[in-house]
Structure 1
Amino acid sequence: MGLDGALATAGTGIDAIQTQLALISQNVANAGTPSYATEVAAQEAVTAGGTGMGVRLLPATRLVDTTLQATLLGQNASTAGAQTTATALSAINAVQGTPGAGNDLPSLLAGVTTAFTTLAGDPSSAASQQAVVTAAQTLANGINSISQSYQQQRQTAQDGVVSAVAAINTDLGTIGTLSDQIINLKSLGQSTADLENQRDKAVASLSSLVSVRTLAQPNGDMLVIAGGGLMLPTHATNPLTTSGAQLGAAATYPESIPAITLGGTDVTGALTGGSLGADLTLRDRTLPTYQAELDEFSAQLSNRFAAQGLSLFTRGDGSLPASTGPYTQSGYVGYAGQITVNPAVAASPSLVRDGNLAIAGSPTGASAFTPNPAGGPAAFGTLISRVLDYALGSDAQAGVAQPATPTTGLGPSGTLAAPYAAPPDLTGLASTMIASQSADSAAATAQASSEASVQTTLSSRLASEDGVNMDQELAAMTQLQNAYGANARVISAVQSMFTTLLTAITPVMG
């Protein structure tokens, strides 16, 4: 090898070092970038005819623990889903009040009991009669507020579904665009490390929206598969589609709530996990079940009072809830959002003493009752006793148990069920229902915290194994600086030799 060969060889060293320094710069700059994996470039000797011709770098690749990366993707979905659920249920729990603080449902019901107990001491007291109406309206308002919180969170979940689908399509489009570029560069033998890091960032974003797994293809493409086995489109012109909707208490999927479709096919059931999966569960199962439970409590409240001769809790038009279809709650789905004090009673508070319904009586239900007529005894206490002993108690009349409160076949389609056995009295029913829902909220909050902790641990492990190690990068930079200086000295020495040679031959040439 002559001087020109030595110069060329040293030049390849300089080129390789410059490329490696660029990689180090890229790594250091992205030391805190989520989903960024350290980029490295292996080098190999170049020979021609058995003679060394320097060094060259292979296309840069990434250091990736694919197993740990896949585990983190799954954990991203679990964490996002748990947080979505906890946020929704915590908002509901706040509206339900603090047990024993006077603003929770059992306490509001106790307020009605207390008002009737006071009235029993002096049935003629107009102030006590009005106090019963006020306590009843406070209870109805509390029920309305809880029902409204269910519907608000259900609407939030529906809006979240629409937003998540749009975000999923954006991430899938990004993955597809980057995959196309990776396929092209890979076919040219060029590095795709930067693009793969960008693609992994999009995949990480996607994994918080819905459970996914990925399959890297030999040509550089990437397949994205939803948790339910659905192949998600990254190159398709037909993305996932859905539409917004304003949900009422009776709205159900797929009857009246828009599906998520792909190419015209309903794929809602194949999209699980992540914030989308949690919103679907909240929208279609959890919150409708809560609504059904409260609707049933409200119906029991109204009908048990009415059965004793006082239509106190009704709709705004004075009507009582009744099943009018094939399912338990057909005809009164959403009743908890409508319940109020009967306008007739609000206008004439003395009806809480006298009653406003004549009861024929039944051996399996309440006994017979005749309301106190106009001008009747001011100390009439029969109705008040029936309310305290039976409407608010476990029996419909002495020795006859209250009809069982339905806990299955609930909701608009009769497919929902409460997770508890209903106590026979209204206070027990209210306490059991609220305790069950509060327990759900507490469990969701604990689950969200646990999932976040696991996610943090996995993220730290992945960053430790695949992420940028600043100490290693700086050590490598020092080595490259030394190597750069050595190659530069070789070039300087060769240039000096060329100068000496040219100086020596110049007189001869002259």
Structure 2
Amino acid sequence: MSLSASLSNAMSGLTASSRAAEVVSSNVANAMTEGYARREINLAALSLGGAGKGVVVTGINRVVNQSLLADRRVAEAGVGDRDARTAFLQRLESTLGTSDSASSVLGRVAAFDSALIEASSRPESEARLSNVLVAAQSLASGINAASTDIQAARASADDQIETEVATLNAGLARIAELNVQIRAQFGVSRDATALMDQRQQLVDQLASIVPLREVDRGHNQIALYTTGGIQLLDGRAAVIEFTPVGVVTPDMTLASGSLSGLTLNGRSLPTSGAASMIGGGSLAAHFAVRDELAPAAQTKLDAVARDLVERFADPAIDTTRAPGDPGLFTDAGSAFVATDEVGLSQRLALNGAVDPAQGGALWRLRDGMGAVAPGLSGNSALLSSLQTALAAPRAPVSGGFMPGARSFSSLNADVISGVSTARLGAEAESSFATARATALQQQELENGVDTDQEMQKLLLIEQAYSANARVIQTAGDMIDILMGI
């Protein structure tokens, strides 16, 4: 082998060793960087006319376990879904309060019941009648507040949907741009692995919103589909559209058209049920909160409000009321109409006839809603009847409760118990989903950069570099000797 060939071979070896050292240093430096994939250098023998001409770097590979990556993305989408549902149920339970809390709806029922019992023992006491008024107002306002918070949770979910749709559109557009840039880089034989890392990070972010499946299209290009089969990116990015409403009221539903669904490139997408193709991520969970979980809670609360109104609207309890007049509790001051139950819990109000602040009189709690003048101050019949009506077993006529008569307190206890049970179940599912995602992340890290192994590679690279440098030095010495002859 000629001296020039030896020098050429050694120079190519130095170049390859330098590039390999750069790859190792990048691996070590980014061992804990999220979205970074371990690099491996590809080398090939260079020959010309059958004679060896050294070594050439043919490319840098990103080492990614695509199967594990796909499983981890689905798991993280599951975490997003479970966390959003759990957060709503925790909020709902906090709003309704626990059974041992005096400020809960159940605690207010107990306070109202006690006030009625105390007032019936001394019906002439204005202070005790005032306590009944305050307890009744507190009960109504507690149910109002719970209903208002449920609608606030729906509005918050609507806002979250808007935010996540914007994130999806921006992310898909950016991934499409990265696809083009990566192809251009490889077209001129440049290293595009950093761009591929950015693309993976973006896909990971979007995968928690909607579970994604990545499809290799060759030439380092990818397409993205939801696990339900919707194409989000294949060359061009799809455009997802959603129209937020700002304020949500109990009567607003997706079916009625008062709430927005999703469209993909102008085509409507189902957002819930078995037909949904976006299920499994946080976006689907926000739709579930807005269109399923919160409306179901509202239905229960409206049924509770209806039960309360109808318990005290019985004509046999208060004979002073004219037919059609409301009882102690009203629908925004009017008599309740059975066909207008939706949102009743938000409109529930105390009869103004017993409220001095509304021009009423406390003594009507003792003498009747329709009484025109105070009666006998020692007459406790109406107060006792009111307390009996509150505690009497009665079968709820709406709300989807299990069959059976129960007191108003027991009805509220059933609602709170149902929410607590659902919350515990959601937390258990969330914990399982988080544990699964964490385990897959750990496996992915184990398949990532091993710094010990990288250090071993660096020692071998150093030896190769020294060997090539020694060849160049020897060739230089030989040239010096030849020049000195």
1:414 — aligned with what?
A: none
Query: Match for 2:241: what amino acid?
Result: T
1:305 — aligned with what?
A: 312
Asked if residue 320 in structure 1 is aligned to residue 335 in structure 2, the reply is yes
CA distance in 1, matches of 2:35, 2:233: 22
CA distance in 1, matches of 2:417, 2:427: 15
Q: Would you say the 8 A contact 1:68–1:462 is kept in 2?
A: yes
Q: Would you say the 8 A contact 1:212–1:224 is kept in 2?
A: yes
How far does residue 449 in structure 1 lie from its aligned partner after superposition?
Answer: 2.4
After the TM superposition, which residues 323-334 of structure 1 pair with which residues of structure 2 at under 5 Å, given as runs? Answer: 323-324=338-339, 331-334=340-343
- Taking a change above 3 Å as real, the CA distance of residues 488 and 481 of structure 1, as seen in their structure-2 partners, is same
Query: Match for 2:122: what amino acid?
Result: D
CA distance in 1, matches of 2:437, 2:375: 71
CA distance in 1, matches of 2:234, 2:380: 74
Q: Would you say the 8 A contact 1:173–1:235 is kept in 2?
A: no
- 1:149 aligns to what SS in structure 2? helix
Query: Match for 1:230: what amino acid?
Result: I
How far does residue 189 in structure 1 lie from its aligned partner after superposition?
Answer: 5.3
CA distance in 2, matches of 1:136, 1:300: 15
CA distance in 1, matches of 2:335, 2:467: 94
Q: Would you say the 8 A contact 1:250–1:333 is kept in 2?
A: yes
2:269 — aligned with what?
A: 267
Q: Would you say the 8 A contact 1:295–1:333 is kept in 2?
A: yes
Which runs of 5 or more residues in structure 2 are unaligned?
272-276, 319-325
CA distance in 1, matches of 2:403, 2:26: 62
**Pairing partner for 1:426 from 402, 408, 411:** 408
**Pairing partner for 1:470 from 439, 448, 451:** 451
- 1:56 aligns to what SS in structure 2? strand
How far does residue 118 in structure 1 lie from its aligned partner after superposition?
Answer: 0.9
CA distance in 2, matches of 1:468, 1:189: 25
Query: Match for 2:336: what amino acid?
Result: P
How far does residue 50 in structure 1 lie from its aligned partner after superposition?
Answer: 2.7
Q: Would you say the 8 A contact 1:315–1:342 is kept in 2?
A: no
Query: Which digits, 9 at most, give the CA deviation of each residue in 1:77-125, with x for residues without a partner?
Result: 0011111222222222222223223122222111111111111112222
Query: Match for 1:437: what amino acid?
Result: V
After the TM superposition, which residues 215-254 of structure 1 pair with which residues of structure 2 at under 5 Å, given as runs? Answer: 215-233=215-233, 235-236=235-236, 239-245=239-245, 246-254=247-255
How far does residue 384 in structure 1 lie from its aligned partner after superposition?
Answer: 2.2
Query: Which digits, 9 at most, give the CA deviation of each residue in 1:236-269, with x for residues without a partner?
Result: 4762111221211211114111122122211242
1:258 — aligned with what?
A: 260
How far does residue 164 in structure 1 lie from its aligned partner after superposition?
Answer: 0.4
- Compute the TM-score of the two structures, normalised by the length of structure 1: 0.87
- Compute the TM-score of the two structures, normalised by the length of structure 2: 0.91
- Taking a change above 3 Å as real, the CA distance of residues 290 and 161 of structure 1, as seen in their structure-2 partners, is same
After the TM superposition, which residues 435-474 of structure 1 pair with which residues of structure 2 at under 5 Å, given as runs? Answer: 435-465=417-447, 467-474=448-455
Q: Would you say the 8 A contact 2:7–2:471 is kept in 1?
A: yes
How far does residue 76 in structure 1 lie from its aligned partner after superposition?
Answer: 0.8
Query: Match for 1:253: what amino acid?
Result: L
- 1:294 aligns to what SS in structure 2? helix
**Pairing partner for 2:355 from 331, 342, 346:** 346
How far does residue 75 in structure 1 lie from its aligned partner after superposition?
Answer: 0.4
Query: Which digits, 9 at most, give the CA deviation of each residue in 1:48-69, with x for residues without a partner?
Result: 2332211112211121111111
Asked if residue 295 in structure 1 is aligned to residue 302 in structure 2, the reply is yes
2:75 — aligned with what?
A: 75
Query: Match for 1:487: what amino acid?
Result: N
Query: Which digits, 9 at most, give the CA deviation of each residue in 1:141-176, with x for residues without a partner?
Result: 211221122122111111000000011112211211
How far does residue 404 in structure 1 lie from its aligned partner after superposition?
Answer: 3.8
Query: Which digits, 9 at most, give the CA deviation of each residue in 1:5-28, with x for residues without a partner?
Result: 000000110111111112112212
* Dislocated runs of 4+, deviation >6 Å: none
Which runs of 5 or more residues in structure 1 are unaligned?
325-330, 358-371, 395-401, 409-417, 505-510
- 2:44 aligns to what SS in structure 1? strand
Q: Which moved more, 1:183-192 or 1:428-437?
A: 183-192
Give the fraction of aligned pairs with identical amino acids, expressed as a percent.
Answer: 28
How far does residue 179 in structure 1 lie from its aligned partner after superposition?
Answer: 1.3
How far does residue 460 in structure 1 lie from its aligned partner after superposition?
Answer: 0.8
Asked if residue 2 in structure 1 is aligned to residue 2 in structure 2, the reply is yes
Query: Which digits, 9 at most, give the CA deviation of each residue in 1:286-335, with x for residues without a partner?
Result: 0111011101101110121111337222244x1133233xxxxxx23222
Asked if residue 499 in structure 1 is aligned to residue 469 in structure 2, the reply is no
Q: Would you say the 8 A contact 1:422–1:432 is kept in 2?
A: no
Query: Match for 1:262: what amino acid?
Result: L
CA distance in 2, matches of 1:63, 1:35: 12
CA distance in 2, matches of 1:284, 1:101: 29
- 2:53 aligns to what SS in structure 1? strand
- Taking a change above 3 Å as real, the CA distance of residues 422 and 451 of structure 1, as seen in their structure-2 partners, is farther
Q: Would you say the 8 A contact 1:176–1:235 is kept in 2?
A: yes
Q: Which moved more, 1:113-122 or 1:225-234?
A: 225-234
- 2:150 aligns to what SS in structure 1? helix
Asked if residue 482 in structure 1 is aligned to residue 463 in structure 2, the reply is yes
2:212 — aligned with what?
A: 212
Q: CA RMSD in A?
A: 2.0
Q: Would you say the 8 A contact 1:171–1:202 is kept in 2?
A: yes
2:389 — aligned with what?
A: 390
Q: Would you say the 8 A contact 2:152–2:248 is kept in 1?
A: no
Query: Match for 1:337: what amino acid?
Result: Q
